[in-house]
Amino acid sequence: MDSSSRNKCSACYRQFNKMEHLVEHMRLSYHSNHEPTCGICQKHCRSFESLREHLIGPLPKAECERIFKERGCDLCLTILSTRYALQVHREKCQFSRGNNGLLYRMANLGIQDELRIDNSREKVVSLACKMVGGGSDGSLDLCGRVCLIDDHERIIFQTYVKPQLPVTNYRYESTGIRPEFLKDAMPIRQVQRKIQEYLCNGEPIWQIRSRGGKARILVGHGLDQDLKCLEMEYPMILIRDTAKYPPLMKTSKLSNSLKYLTKAYLGYDIQSGIQDPYEDGVATMRLYLRMRSQSHKVEDHPIASDPQNRNNFASWRQSELERMSPEKMLDLSRSDYYCWCLDKYSYSATATATW
């Protein structure tokens, strides 16, 4: 085995003059089996955006680009065996904004409330809000409408919200909210209490944090802002935010917009004209389920053995690592984020809360 081959990273294929440099690269890179991987050359990429660039530009790998153009899905980036297989796959892979039929039209109604403390029901819910403006210049975000849906895209809870501060800009062009909609709307404290109790199944938030509990996974896009405007707290370990999930971020590690993610990974347009929080909630739930369905090799049951899913090189001496092959080092490595595909190995949100 020549030097260049021996010092070549098994994940991203970078080459190093010295083995110690490859070891340092592996310490810092957090390469793992949970990274998006090219189905042709097996190169690991830091995000699906990086993988997309590898396959279709602006400077793609020529052979990978050729094969991808023939039988690659531009939504999930999977490589199919034949063009016919791609055609069949594409029909199932692409979503439609209009798939929700009556439910989508129902989303324009005022109040729907199916919140019940029931452990047998859905364990994953999606939250979306629409903000009106407060403050002297209308730039302060205030929650004016909220929608909570389950993983079957059914509305659990939806209402207009009456903020505690005066509204100075209803942002009608994007929210569709008029003053009369908020005049007798549900007060934000009541909205907060109902959603919090539902997410935590009636248990106190401190109990969920300290010893777990039968809480639900919360999905959304930019959930920090939504929870802030709702004046709510929720454990980070139970949050799945499509704006902060590394595989869905830009190559530069900045967030993509929900509008872009929906078009790029689900295949349809949203947020044109007046925006509906139900539509946003459906998009984030679909993105979460698509990411959760990723097929990755799971080494030694990481849920139990490596709950933080982080690189475990710290327990190995430099000299021991330098004697390993690049493939062995890759097997040892872990990602620096929790991969949503691991949610499949938990059959209840109770287990999720204790990781």
Report yes or no on whether pTM surpasses 0.75.
yes
pLDDT at 123: 87
pLDDT at 73: 96
pLDDT, mean over the chain: 85
Q: How far is the C-alpha of 257 from the C-alpha of 245, rounded, in Å?
A: 12
Q: How far is the C-alpha of 218 from the C-alpha of 228, rounded, in Å?
A: 14
- Residue range 68-87: mean pLDDT, rounded: 95
75-to-92, 94, 296 alpha-carbon distances in Å: 11, 7, 18
Give the tens place of pLDDT for each residue, 217-267. 999 999 999 999 999 989 998 999 999 999 999 988 899 999 999 999 999
Structure tokens at 215: 């809480």
Tell the residue number behind the tokens 């819910």, with chain if given: 125
Give the tens place of pLDDT for each residue, 79-130. 999 999 999 999 999 998 764 544 444 445 556 666 554 554 568 999 999 9
Residue 22 has φ and ψ, to the nearest 5°, of -65, -40
Helix (H) or strand (E) holding 227: helix 223-229
Domain residues of the chain, as ranges?
3-93+294-340, 99-292
Tell the residue number behind the tokens 């310490």, with chain if given: 27
- Residue range 269-280: mean pLDDT, rounded: 91
Q: How far is the C-alpha of 95 from the C-alpha of 341, rounded, in Å?
A: 20
Give 242-300 as a DSSP string.
Answer: TTT-GGGS-TTSPPPPHHHHHHHHT-S---SSS--HHHHHHHHHHHHHHHHT------S
DSSP 8-state secondary structure symbol assigned to residue 302: H
Domain with residues 99-292, CATH architecture = 2-Layer Sandwich (3.30)
